[in-house]
């Protein structure tokens, strides 16, 4: 049987692999809390309600110490050391300069000469080292008339603001309910973490939007490419998608899949 203790350990593991840099002082603090709280739990075996209250308070403490509070002002990415699940290591603070916190170039339209007539450019941990560890990124989205950001997913949530044009944006819940709407200048929509979502320019001028995501490196998994740009044998792609052989071949040739 899973115990509250297992859940606490799981919650902590999840926090360690969150996008925040691992903060060893906070971790030590959390471990002390865990020992203290857990021995207290042992003395309260008969009081389920009390345990529940402690668990809720404890979860709050963990999320507060990992999600919000830091013992350093910033952790500018040190690209000379490999990236890890918690982000890049911190550049020596004595070598940090103002430009580590600046990204320029989102004032100009991206290159939309491609199959989907779309360009995405922006500030994330590889282009703006000061974002490392802060749980943020920001992108400019240009979608030409008839263009589309095809259905895709990220590890985190996204918020969009439309600056020019008219787009249909939407996402699909894990129960397959679709939430979608036509957005115009000034409209904002949020796409909850990891859910499939899309944007389509349905207006007659190029659309411009900005999106922000709550990770310095949100990841991007474009479903059609995942299915048809891979090296899985076509016979397996047919089985796992229920799409017939000719169509699988056609899509593999569009997306560059092999086998």
Ligand X SMILES: *[C@@H]1O[C@H](CO)[C@@H](O)[C@H](O)[C@H]1NC(C)=O
> Which amino acids are annotated as binding site, given as ranges?
152, 154, 158, 197
Q: How far is the CB of 91 from ligand X (least distance, A)?
A: 9
Instruction: State the Cα–Cα distance between residues 252 and 198, nearest whole angstrom.
Output: 21
Residues in the interface with ligand X (CB under 6 A) total 4
Q: Pick from 214, 217, 210, 208: which is nearest to 127 by CA? A: 217
| Residue 174 within binding range of ligand X, rule CB under 6 A | no
Q: DSSP for 61-98?
A: HHHIIIII--SSS---B-TTS--BTTBPPBPPGGG--G
Contact by Cβ (8 Å): 112, 45 = no
Two tokens, residue 116: 């989907």
| Residue 92 within binding range of ligand X, rule CB under 6 A | yes
Q: Which of 94, 104, 174, 177 binds ligand X (CB under 6 A)?
A: 94
Q: How far is the CB of 11 from ligand X (least distance, A)?
A: 31
Q: Which of residues 218-247 bind ligand X (CB under 6 A)?
A: none
| Annotated binding-site positions for oxalate | 154, 158
Q: Which is nearer to ligand X, 100 or 187 (CB)?
A: 100
Q: How far is the CB of 19 from ligand X (least distance, A)?
A: 23
Q: Which is nearer to ligand X, 113 or 176 (CB)?
A: 113
Instruction: State the Cα–Cα distance between residues 126 and 25, nearest whole angstrom.
Output: 27
| Residue 104 within binding range of ligand X, rule CB under 6 A | no
Beta strands in 36-175 (DSSP E): 118-123, 137-143, 148-153, 158-164, 167-172
| Annotated binding-site positions for Mn(2+) | 152, 154, 158, 197
| Residue 3 within binding range of ligand X, rule CB under 6 A | no
Chain residues binding ligand X by CB under 6 A are: 92, 94, 111, 113
């Amino acid at each position: 049987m899973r115990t509250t203790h297992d859940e606490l350990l799981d919650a902590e593991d999840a926090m360690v692999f969150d996008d925040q840099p691992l903060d060893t002082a906070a971790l030590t603090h959390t471990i002390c809390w865990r020992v203290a709280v857990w021995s207290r739990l042992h003395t309260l075996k008969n009081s389920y309600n009390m345990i529940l209250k402690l668990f809720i308070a404890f979860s709050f403490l963990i999320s507060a110490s990992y999600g919000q509070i830091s013992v350093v002002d910033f952790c500018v990415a040190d690209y000379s050391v490999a990236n890890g699940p918690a982000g890049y290591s911190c550049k020596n603070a004595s070598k940090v300069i103002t430009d580590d916190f600046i990204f320029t170039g989102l004032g100009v339209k991206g290159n939309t000469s491609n199959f989907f007539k779309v360009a995405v450019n922006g500030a994330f941990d590889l282009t703006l080292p000061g974002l490392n560890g802060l749980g943020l990124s920001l992108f400019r989205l240009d979608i030409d008339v008839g263009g589309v950001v095809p259905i895709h997913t990220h590890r985190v949530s996204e918020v969009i603001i439309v600056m020019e044009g008219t787009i249909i944006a939407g996402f699909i819940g894990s129960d397959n309910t679709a939430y979608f709407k036509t957005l115009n200048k000034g409209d904002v929509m949020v796409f909850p973490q990891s859910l499939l979502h899309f944007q389509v320019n349905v207006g007659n001028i190029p659309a411009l939007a900005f999106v922000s995501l709550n990770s310095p490196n949100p990841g991007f998994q474009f479903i059609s490419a995942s299915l048809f740009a891979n090296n899985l044998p076509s016979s397996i792609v047919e089985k796992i998608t229920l799409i017939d052989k000719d169509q699988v071949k056609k899509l593999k040739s569009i997306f560059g899949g092999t086998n």
